[in-house]
A and B are shown apart, each in its own frame.
Chain A
């Protein structure tokens, strides 16, 4: 669920990329698909734990676990958590969820040529459209559906398990104290993972600086600043 810039993948209908995973140049067995997904699943587990812990004080334990079960999107969930922490309205939460989820359209369209024809199967596989699972599936030359399904299911289980674990141990005071730094660190990590060009890094730096200054100068506007500033920077700041 750690987001990557959709532009790193070819547009719909373009020639498929060379396989980035040497062990997966041919047919991928179920065991190999599982092994390929294990390392990123560990990261998903860790961030699920951080999410569960960070949600303490903002969401109840049941709400945190339900949010992971129903939404299954680290980007959306952490953004929502950040907004709720700042006292944002439900409307701001919904707008942010729509804006962040819209990226799934691009990811889905990239992987769509590899998906099976029956629409019923696509409805099921759509649930596995998360950044890491799509990235892994695109990194193999064949058996993309197997990798997507295996990775997506594994990430769902580990994300949910991490959330439950974080919710449980979040009552420990030491972990709770450390988790106060978890959100900004995680957001830096997510921004870094997605800022794949100099222009993107510049937009991140400008958005962070403007938000920081505006949050200090106009604290009452804090709930609206991140989305507003990010949208403004994205729309107005063109690639050099």
Chain B
């Protein structure tokens, strides 16, 4: 990643912060609904994609069990607890593999 791309990305995030606090009226209607709903499925999709390597094969057993541990504790919606579930799953997976 080059410095120009980093600066553009920084500019995008800061502009989005400025837009809500200074520049624009708040989004409404369908755009607001899509914006508020998009992040959760995106991260779920990214989690699933992280389990597959470039050749289309599943990642190693510790990674799969770590992710399963996080999913099991997902309903707590508590990030430290979910991370702990991932750690315990990884340890279990490493012991089994």
Contacts and interface: CB of A to CB of B under 8 A. Distances in A.
Q: Do A and B bind each other?
A: yes
Nearest to A129: B17
Nearest to B28: A11
Given A101-B13, A230-B42, A187 B35 contact: no
Interface string B1-37: 1010111111011111111111011110000101111
B29 to A, nearest CB: 11
B40 A105 contact: no
A230 B37 CA distance: 9
Given A104-B20, A208-B47, A46 B40 contact: no
Range of interface residues on A (Cβ < 8 Å): 35 or more
Contacts of B17: 104, 108, 126-127, 129
B95 interface: no
A70 B10 contact: yes
Given A98-B12, A99-B38, A226-B45, A125 B66 contact: no
Contact of A108 (B20, B39, B43, B60): B20
A47 B69 CA distance: 18
B52 A204 contact: no
Interface stretch (A15-23, A153-161, A165-173, A192-200): A192-200
Contacts of A188: 43-44, 47, 67, 70-71, 74, 82, 86
Nearest to B65: A181
Contacts of B36: 5-7, 103, 106
A126 B21 contact: yes
Nearest to B74: A192
A53 interface: no
Contacts of A90: 5
Interface of A: 2-3, 5-7, 11-12, 43, 46-47, 59, 63, 66-67, 70-73, 75-76, 78-80, 82, 84-87, 90, 93-94, 96-112, 115, 119, 122-123, 125-127, 129, 178, 180-196, 200, 203-212, 215-219, 222, 225-227, 229-231, 233-235
5 contacts: A181-B63, A203-B40, A212-B48, A212-B52, A235-B34
